[in-house]
Every structure is written in C-alpha cells, then in structure tokens.
Structure 1
Amino acid sequence: MTTPWPPRRTAHRPLAPRVAAPREPVDPARIGRRVVRRRAKGMDAAAAAALEDARFDARQASQHEDLAADERRRAELAEWERIDQLLAAAAPGTVYDPDTDDVVQAELATEAAAAAEREAAVREAQRIAARADELQALRELGMLEQAEPREGDEAVREELTRRAGWYVQADVDAWLARALAAHRGHYADPAAREAAAGLLPQPVLAHAALLSALARLVPAAAPGELAVAARLAAADPEATAGLAALLTRAAEPGDPTGSRA
C-alpha cells in the first residue's frame, strides 16, 4: 500500500480590491431643484401660483421640527422664487425652459465636469491596481529588477506599501532608487526625475542620489558592493543625501589650483 503525498501547499496572493464604479453623490438640494425645473417647464404665470404653494408648504413644514430642516424643501422653495423672478423679468408670454436657463446650464456643466473627474479617478485607481498586480507578480518571480519603471509607478509604490500594511517594501524602494539613479524607464526624462523629488520618500531619493554619486566615482562597482547605500539611506536619509552631495562634488573635475570648476 502506498502512502499518498500530502497536498501541495501553494501561496495565494490576495486579490487587489475592486475599484468601485463612480457614483453620483446624493444631494437633496439638487434633487429638489431638478424636480422644480421639470414641473416649471412650459409655465408662465402659473409659476407664481406654484411659488405660493411652495411657500405655503414651507410654512406648514416649519411647524414640525422633523421637517423644518428639510434641505430639499428649502431648495425647492428657493428655485421657485428664482424661476418666478426670471419670468417676471422676461418679456410677456415667456414660458420657462431649463434648456435656455443660464443658471441651469452652468450647473449642468459643473456636474458633468465633476462626473468626468470621478471617472478619471476610478480609471487611474484601476491602472494603479493593475500595475501593482504586475509588479507583485514580478517580485514573486524574482524578476522585479528587469521591469522598466513607468510614469505613475510612484503611486504604484504607495499601493504596494498599502497592501503590505504600510510596511516599507525594501525591494520596491531599491528598484525605484536604482532606476532613478540610472535614468532608466521614464526617469530618462529630466522632468520625470524632477517630479520624483515630490513623489518619492526621502530614503528612496537619498538612496538614488548616493548610487548616482558612487557610479561616477566607481563606475565598475558591482551591485553587491552598492548594497550599503540602501542601508545608509534607510537609517539616515538626510545624512545619506549629504554624503551623496559631497561625493558628487568630489567627482567634479577641478582646476590646477585644486578648486572645483
């Protein structure tokens, strides 16, 4: 009788949380204004009667504590008053049309812009999550160093750190520091390197600066010989940045008198 092998254990990465589709925020006042505009469309003198009805309802509601603070009711009354004033100032026989109401059109444009921003934010969150999944897979295969950094990977670093319970991900930080020092990927663009100063934490920036300075002084240094740079940057990023600046000055060509050019 043969003994079966125990079931193979495999590590499963937790799936990234799904990014929810954008939802339009609930705004009782906006709902109230929309209701009034639908009712008022095509009205002329009848708008004045509707305004009186709204005022009557408001007076009745004010007598009840649970209705007195009704935001939608107040917005409806204010909208009836605005429409009544709009028609009073218009030519005789003018009927109300939301499509020609400048206030309504401006409000719709603002809402459309806000909706577009929400959708863009969701798309960006989805992109970050997908890129984080990609980099995580490369980490598990030991191939992270082969990846070329892309625009937005600074935010992906934040996502990977968040998934790890906000513990520093040393391998990801080192990968970004080496890429920044070597001007790899999108860091070949000076603008991207300048932007990184405001997107990456100080230890990563100090690590990159020290690697860059050491590369000028010792171009043939092996990667293992430069591992100390990451430890220095993690322990004291400010001192590491100062050391990098000192080494950078030391690598600059000097004039015959010994001063730096």
Structure 2
Amino acid sequence: MTTPWSPRHDIRRPIASRVAAPREPVDHARIGQRVVRRRAKGMDAAAVARALEEARFDARQDSRHEHLADDTRGRAELAEWERIDQMLTDAAPGTVYDPDADDVVQTELAAEAAAAAREAELREAARIAARADDLQALRELGTLKQAEPREGDEAVRDELARRAGGYIPVDVDA
C-alpha cells in the first residue's frame, strides 16, 4: 500500500530549524500590571475603588495559602490598583482611567521601545561581526573570490577595514 506522503525517514531537515529560539523569561509582575490597566480602562474612581477592594480581598485569601506566598503577579496587581485608585482620587471628579494618558504607562512604553532598539542594534552588530569573521576566514583560505555577496556587506567591509587598521585588502575591496 502506498501513502500519499513521503515516509517520515525521508524528510531531512536541518536540526537548527527544529530548535526553538530562546525566549526571554516571563515577568509575572508586568503581566499583572497590564491586566489591571486593561481592566481599568474607562473605569471611574468608584469602579476602581470596588476593584481595589476585590484585589485586597484576593490578597488576603492568597495569604492563607502557602503556595501563593511568593505570588508576584498578585502583589503587582494590588499595587497597580492602588496606584490607579490614588491617581483617580487626586484627579477631577468624573475622570475615567485612560492608559494612554497615564504618565507611568507612557514612560514604561518609551523605556521598552528604547530597550528594543538597543537590542536590535546589538543583533545587527553581532550579525556584521559574524559575517566579517566568515569573510576573514575565506580570505585566509584564499577563496574569498568565490563568496556570494549578501545584503549589508558594505557594513561588513567597513568592519574588515576597521580591523585592518584602515587598510582594505584588494580581495575584500572587490
């Protein structure tokens, strides 16, 4: 009997494609803060006060259970409800919570964007250094003329020139 697909042992995939990319660790406190902010959006001071009382009740209940003693998300949620409650208490009557107008939220978003930009720059610098290492190895083997040019090789060429003290060998310049 034949199957409509090829047998599993015929499939040859490189191992790297099956390996998951490393993930950043989960920050339960940030998750808790974001959940509270989503729930609080559009709430007035009275609704936030009721939600704060519910969060305090949940914290008291959690304190009775040993496995919830180090619950960072619960503590972060309670702290965020308290912060939002204080913010709306100090605001004009009838004000509703809007994360887009919250200075703390906007500061956190700006910091996250700056960190993401720095990480992207670091990844690009690592990619350039790795490609420069590859081209340097090919040059040492005498096979650089056989290398396929890639997008972004101008930056790699500059990196090789920097490593050589400003001197650009003829095979790299080609």
Fold shared, TM-score > 0.5 on shorter chain? yes
Q: Does the Cα contact within 8 Å between 1:22 and 1:119 map onto a contact in 2?
A: no
- Aligned residue in 2 for 1:32: 32
CA deviations over 1:182-239 (Å, ceiling 9, x no partner): x624xxxxxxxxxxxxxxxxxxxxxxxxxxxxxxxxxxxxxxxxxxxxxxxxxxxxxx
Conserved? CA contact 1:51–1:81, under 8 Å: yes
- Is this contact kept in 2: 1:24–1:115, CA < 8 A? no
- Which residue does 1:150 correspond to in 2? 161
Which consecutive aligned stretches of 4+ in structure 1 deviate over 2 angstroms post-superposition? Answer: 20-26, 147-151
- C-alpha separation between the residues in 2 aligned to 1:77 and 1:56? 10
Is the contact made by 1:22 and 1:118 (CA closer than 8 Å) also made in structure 2? no
Note the 1:112-261 alignment, pairs <5 A: 112-141=113-142, 149-151=160-162, 153=163, 179-180=164-165, 184-185=167-168
Which residue of structure 1 aligns with residue 151 of structure 2? none
Supply the RMSD in Å over aligned alpha carbons.
Answer: 2.5
Letter in 1 for 2:167: R
Aligned to 1:162: none
Alpha carbons 1:87, 1:94 under 8 Å: kept: yes
* Separation in 1, partners of 2:49, 2:75: 17
Q: Match of 2:26, as an amino acid?
A: V
- Provide the C-alpha distance between the structure 1 equivalents of 2:23 and 2:129, rounded to a whole number of angstroms: 20
Which secondary structure does the structure 1 equivalent of 2:95 belong to? Answer: coil
Q: State the partner residue of 2:109.
A: 108
Give the conservation status (yes or no) of the 8 Å contact 1:33–1:79. Answer: yes
- 2:10 maps to what in 1? none
Could you tell me the percent identity over the aligned residues?
61
Asked if 2 retains the 8 angstrom alpha-carbon contact of 1:32 and 1:72, the reply is yes
Cross-structure match for 1:87: 88
Q: C-alpha separation between the residues in 1 aligned to 2:98 and 2:63?
A: 30
CA distance in 2, matches of 1:55, 1:76: 10
CA contact (8 A) 2:32 2:74 kept: yes
SS at match of 1:94: coil
Shift of 1:150: 2.3
TM-score (normalised: structure 1): 0.48
Given that 2:161 and 2:167 are in contact with CA atoms closer than 8 Å, whether structure 1 keeps it comes out as no
TM-score if structure 2 supplies the norm length?
0.71
Alignment of 1:47-62 (within 5 A): 47-62=48-63
Consecutive unaligned residues in structure 1, runs of 5 or more: 1-16, 154-178, 186-261
Cα 1:39–1:102 change in 2 (3 A) is same
What's the secondary structure of 1:69's corresponding residue?
Answer: coil
Query: Counterparts of 1:40 and 1:111 in 2: how far apart (Å)?
Result: 22
Q: For residues 21 and 60 of structure 1, what CA distance do their matches in structure 2 show?
A: 38
Counterpart AA for 2:101: T
